[in-house]
């Protein structure tokens, strides 16, 4: 099966598996797992923050971050297409008692600064207090769009002027830095906190890192504990993360090249359409333009032939390249799509 459902389906590399086997271990709740401590220090350094915290998932990373920044009844400004808003069970409200204030995302994943400013509440007994602005880079529902350093700096400057904090859901932020050819620190310097996933393009089996000031991480650690995320011999997770930071960032360019090749191949298939210019990283969104093609049947036929991906809208599919997918897989995927589309 050529599995393009997500980069979360990656399997750990042989080097990661060996590192997991060899990892020195301790009890991370007591703070004495040496492998976890080494990963957290490395993660903080790579994104230019004081400290970091290992958590089991990207969803928990987002939740502990907003909980660490805000108190019950306070408000978070985020994009209308944000992953936090769409796909995380309403955790900020259900668990944290926080009020999400959504403003429109643009096609490029940004939120207009004037829209953010309009959303900031004035002091009034009737209003929740605005505390946090959440950005997402790369932006999943905006077709993998990349936020630039210039945009993030502008949003950060606005937040500072208004006395707010900025958090970046950076699940795939290394894809953004590689695609732009900039240091990831350029994308995080104006944020108070940021998280990134180990288990997507970086190919680890599990885990995410939350990064920020020492004071923020101390609070995030308390929030992690309250959510049941305190782990014991978590070095078996962290060991793969150390390999990822050493070996898996630069190779993300291969995923981007494969995604572009996939998009170009699909663009030549009658009945399907793709905006090649919107393929910046490892995500390809495909529209079924032929009304004679029934999307659910199309997807099922592709699966029967050995190609899997996800349907994101009535006639839209998403395909994601990742570690374990090479050009031969991409060529085979295009062949399968062409064969099914012509029927």
Is residue 226, in this structure, part of any structural domain at all? yes
Of 203, 195, 191, 169, give the one whose Cα is nearest residue 79.
169
Report the domain count for the chain: 2
Bridge-based pairing state of the strands 193-197 and 165-169: parallel
Domain that holds residue 294: 251-341
- Of the pLDDT bands very low, low, confident and very high (cuts 50, 70, 90), residue 57 is very high
Bridge-based pairing state of the strands 75-79 and 99-103: parallel
Q: How far apart are the first and last CA of the chain?
A: 21
Whole-angstrom CA distances from 244 to 1, 116, 194, 264, 282 are 25, 35, 18, 29, 17
**Confidence (pLDDT) at 290:** 83
**Confidence (pLDDT) at 27:** 97
Domain boundary among 199, 217, 247: 247
Instruction: Please check whether residues 257 and 285 belong to one and the same domain.
Output: yes
**Confidence (pLDDT) at 293:** 87
**Confidence (pLDDT) at 131:** 98
Is residue 2, in this structure, part of any structural domain at all? no
Instruction: Please check whether residues 50 and 127 belong to one and the same domain.
Output: yes
**Confidence (pLDDT) at 291:** 83
The model's pLDDT over 157-189, given as tens digits with 9 standing for 90+, comes to 999 999 999 999 999 999 999 999 999 999 999
Residue 225 has pLDDT above 90, yes or no: yes
The DSSP annotation for 16-83 comes to HHHHHHH-----GGGT--HHHHHHHHHHHHHHT-SEEEEES-HHHHHHHHHHHH--TT-EEEEETT-H
Which pair of tokens denotes residue 289?
A: 């333009």
Average pLDDT of 33-39?
Answer: 98
Whole-angstrom CA distances from 205 to 55, 64, 184, 310, 317 are 13, 21, 22, 21, 25
What is the CATH classification number for the domain harbouring 285? 3.90.1150.10
Residue 343 has pLDDT above 80, yes or no: no
- Of the pLDDT bands very low, low, confident and very high (cuts 50, 70, 90), residue 335 is very high
DSSP state of 281: S
**Confidence (pLDDT) at 72:** 97
Stretch (H or E) spanning 90: none
Of 52, 53, 111, 45, give the one whose Cα is nearest residue 78.
111
DSSP state of 7: G
Instruction: Please check whether residues 240 and 255 belong to one and the same domain.
Output: no
Instruction: Please check whether residues 109 and 227 belong to one and the same domain.
Output: yes
Is residue 232, in this structure, part of any structural domain at all? yes
Instruction: Please check whether residues 290 and 328 belong to one and the same domain.
Output: yes
Instruction: Please check whether residues 69 and 173 belong to one and the same domain.
Output: yes
**Confidence (pLDDT) at 292:** 83
Domain boundary among 247, 273, 299: 247
Average pLDDT of 67-79?
Answer: 98
Is residue 109, in this structure, part of any structural domain at all? yes
Instruction: Please check whether residues 91 and 230 belong to one and the same domain.
Output: yes
Instruction: Please check whether residues 236 and 263 belong to one and the same domain.
Output: no
Bridge-based pairing state of the strands 193-197 and 208-212: antiparallel
What is the CATH classification number for the domain harbouring 157? 3.40.640.10
Is residue 104, in this structure, part of any structural domain at all? yes
**Confidence (pLDDT) at 63:** 98
Whole-angstrom CA distances from 241 to 30, 156, 259, 321 are 20, 28, 24, 20
**C-beta separation of 272 from 266 below 8 A:** yes
% of residues, the chain, pLDDT over 70? 100
Q: Is 194 helix (H, G, I), strand (E, B) or coil?
A: strand
Instruction: Please check whether residues 96 and 238 belong to one and the same domain.
Output: yes
**C-beta separation of 84 from 169 below 8 A:** yes
The model's pLDDT over 286-319, given as tens digits with 9 standing for 90+, comes to 999 888 889 999 999 999 999 999 999 999 999 9
Instruction: Please check whether residues 179 and 296 belong to one and the same domain.
Output: no
Domain boundary among 247, 279, 295: 247
Average pLDDT of 80-99?
Answer: 97
Average pLDDT of 64-86?
Answer: 98
Instruction: Please check whether residues 294 and 232 belong to one and the same domain.
Output: no
Task: Please state, rounded to an integer, the average pLDDT across all residues of the chain.
Answer: 97
**Confidence (pLDDT) at 278:** 92
- Give the bridge partners for 2, in sequence order: 307
């Amino acid at each position: 099966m050529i599995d393009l459902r997500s980069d979360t389906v990656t399997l750990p590399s042989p080097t990661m598996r060996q590192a997991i086997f060899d990892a020195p271990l301790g009890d991370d709740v007591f703070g004495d797992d040496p492998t976890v401590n080494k990963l957290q220090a490395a993660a903080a350094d790579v994104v230019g923050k004081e400290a970091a915290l290992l958590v089991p998932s990207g969803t928990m990373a987002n939740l502990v971050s907003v909980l660490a920044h805000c108190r019950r009844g306070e408000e978070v400004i985020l994009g209308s297409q944000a992953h936090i808003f769409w796909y995380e069970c309403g955790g900020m409200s259900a668990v944290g008692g926080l009020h999400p204030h959504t403003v429109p995302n643009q096609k490029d994943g940004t939120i207009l600064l004037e829209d953010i400013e309009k959303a900031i509440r004035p002091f009034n007994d009737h209003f929740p207090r605005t505390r946090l602005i959440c950005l997402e880079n790369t932006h999943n529902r905006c077709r993998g769009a990349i936020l630039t350093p210039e945009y993030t700096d502008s949003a950060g400057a606005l937040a500072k002027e208004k006395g707010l904090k900025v958090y970046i859901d950076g699940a795939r932020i290394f894809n953004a830095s590689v695609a732009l050819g900039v240091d990831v620190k350029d994308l995080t310097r104006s944020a108070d906190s940021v998280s990134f996933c180990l288990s997507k393009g970086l190919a680890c089996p599990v885990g995410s890192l939350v990064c920020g000031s020492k004071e923020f991480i101390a609070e995030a650690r308390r929030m992690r504990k309250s959510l049941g995320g305190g782990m014991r011999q978590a070095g078996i997770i962290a060991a793969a993360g150390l390999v990822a930071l050493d070996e898996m960032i630069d190779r993300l360019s291969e995923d981007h090249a494969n995604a572009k090749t996939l998009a170009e191949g699909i663009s030549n298939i009658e009945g399907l359409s793709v905006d090649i210019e919107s393929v910046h990283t490892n995500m390809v969104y495909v529209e079924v333009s032929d009304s004679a093609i029934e999307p659910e049947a199309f997807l099922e036929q592709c699966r029967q032939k050995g190609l899997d991906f996800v349907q994101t809208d009535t006639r839209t599919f998403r395909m994601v390249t990742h570690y374990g997918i090479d050009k031969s897989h991409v060529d085979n995927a295009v062949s399968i799509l062409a064969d099914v589309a012509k029927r």
